[in-house]
Amino acid sequence: MKQQQNMLVKNPLAVMTGLRGSRARAGQVDIRISGGLISEMGRNLAAQPGERVIDASNCVVYPGLINTHHHLAQNLLKAVPAGINQDLQGWLASVPYPRLERFTPALVRIAARLGMAELLLSGATTCADHHYLYHANGTTEMGDQLFDVADEFGMRFVLCRGGALESAHAHPGFSKTALQPESLDQMIGDIERLKARYHQDTPVAMRRVVVAPTTPTFSLPPTLLRELASAARGMGLRLHTHLSETQNYVNFCREKYNCLPVEFVAEHEWLGPDVWFAHMVHLQPGEIRMLAQTGTGISHCPVSNSRLGSGIAPVPQMAEAGVPISIGVDGVASNESGSMMGELHTAWLIHRAAQGAQATVAEDVIHWGSAGGAEVLGLGAVGTLAVGQAADLVIYGLDHPRFFGFHDIALAPVVAGEPVAVRYSIINGCVVVDKGEIPGLDLAKMRSEAHDGVQQLLIELDNAS
Ligand SMILES: [Zn+2]
CA of 401 to the centre of ligand 1 (A): 35
pLDDT confidence band for 171 (50 / 70 / 90): confident
Residues 6+ apart with CB under 8 A from 372: 66, 297, 324, 325, 326, 327, 383
pLDDT confidence band for 173 (50 / 70 / 90): confident
Q: Are 385 and 391 in contact (CB under 8 A)?
A: no
What pLDDT sits at residue 182? 93
> For the residues of 409-434, what is the DSSP string, one character each?
GGGHHHHH-SSPEEEEEEETTEEEEB
Asked if the model's pLDDT at residue 284 lies above 60, the reply is yes
What pLDDT sits at residue 356? 98
Q: Kindly report the length of the chain.
A: 465
What pLDDT sits at residue 167? 67
CA angle 73/240/154 to nearest 5° reads 50
What pLDDT sits at residue 452? 97
DSSP annotation of 112:
H
> For the residues of 360-404, what is the DSSP string, one character each?
--HHHHHHIIIIIHHHHHT-TTSSS-STTSB--EEEEE--SGGGS
Helix (H) or strand (E) holding 123: none
Domains, the chain, with CATH or none: 7-63+383-433 (2.30.40.10), 65-377 (3.20.20.140)
If one compares 122 and 465, the residue with the highest pLDDT of the two is: 122
Residues 6+ apart with CB under 8 A from 416: 345, 402, 403
The stretch 3-31 carries a mean pLDDT of: 97
For 420-459, the pLDDT digits (tens) are 999 999 999 999 999 999 999 999 999 999 999 999 999 8
Asked if the model's pLDDT at residue 464 lies above 60, the reply is no
Query: What does pTM read for this prediction?
Result: 0.97
Which residues is 159 bridged to in the sheet? 129, 209
What pLDDT sits at residue 417? 96
Asked if the model's pLDDT at residue 93 lies above 60, the reply is yes
b/e code 87-118 from CB counts within 10 Å (16+ = b): ebbebbbbbbbbbbeebbeebbbbbbbbbbbb
CA of 235 to the centre of ligand 1 (A): 24
CA of 11 to the centre of ligand 1 (A): 39
Asked if the model's pLDDT at residue 465 lies above 60, the reply is no
pLDDT confidence band for 217 (50 / 70 / 90): confident
CA of 361 to the centre of ligand 1 (A): 26
The stretch 163-167 carries a mean pLDDT of: 84
Helix (H) or strand (E) holding 293: helix 285-294
> For the residues of 178-232, what is the DSSP string, one character each?
SPPPPPHHHHHHHHHHHHHHH---STT-SEEEEE--S-TTTSS-HHHHHHHHHHH
Whole-angstrom Cα distance, residue 73 to residue 333? 9
- Provide the residue type at 242 as one letter: H
The stretch 177-191 carries a mean pLDDT of: 93
C-alpha separations of 456 from 104, 107, 290, 448, 465 in Å: 10, 9, 45, 13, 17
What pLDDT sits at residue 85? 97
What pLDDT sits at residue 219? 84
Q: Are 103 and 141 in contact (CB under 8 A)?
A: no
CA of 291 to the centre of ligand 1 (A): 19
CA of 35 to the centre of ligand 1 (A): 35
Asked if the model's pLDDT at residue 357 lies above 60, the reply is yes
Residue 194: alpha-carbon gap to chain centroid:
19
pLDDT confidence band for 272 (50 / 70 / 90): very high
CA of 242 to the centre of ligand 1 (A): 6
Residues 6+ apart with CB under 8 A from 46: none
CA of 37 to the centre of ligand 1 (A): 32
Q: Are 152 and 119 in contact (CB under 8 A)?
A: no
C-alpha separations of 130 from 30, 71, 212, 274, 329 in Å: 36, 5, 7, 16, 11
Average pLDDT, the chain: 96
Would you call 10 helix, strand, or coil by DSSP?
A: strand
For 104-146, the pLDDT digits (tens) are 999 999 999 999 999 999 999 999 999 999 999 999 899 999 9
Q: How far apart are the first and last CA of the chain?
A: 44
CA of 105 to the centre of ligand 1 (A): 20
What pLDDT sits at residue 176? 79
Which residues is 431 bridged to in the sheet? 426
What pLDDT sits at residue 339? 98
Would you call 67 helix, strand, or coil by DSSP?
A: strand
Residues 6+ apart with CB under 8 A from 391: 7, 33, 36, 37, 38, 426, 427, 428, 429
Q: Which of 80-89, 161-170, 313-322 has the lowest mean pLDDT?
A: 161-170
Residue 444 sits at φ, ψ, to 5 deg, of: -65, -40
- Cis-peptide, bond into residue 181, ω within 30° of zero: no
What pLDDT sits at residue 460? 76
For 21-55, the pLDDT digits (tens) are 999 999 999 999 999 999 999 999 999 999 999 99
CA of 218 to the centre of ligand 1 (A): 14
Q: Are 130 and 160 in contact (CB under 8 A)?
A: yes
What pLDDT sits at residue 168? 64
Q: Are 190 and 141 in contact (CB under 8 A)?
A: no
CA of 405 to the centre of ligand 1 (A): 38
pLDDT confidence band for 407 (50 / 70 / 90): very high
The stretch 53-76 carries a mean pLDDT of: 98
Question: What radius of gyration, in Å, describes the C-alpha atoms of the chain?
Answer: 21
Asked if the model's pLDDT at residue 66 lies above 70, the reply is yes
Nearest residue to 62 via CA among 414, 399, 434: 414
CA of 98 to the centre of ligand 1 (A): 16
The stretch 312-316 carries a mean pLDDT of: 98
pLDDT confidence band for 218 (50 / 70 / 90): confident
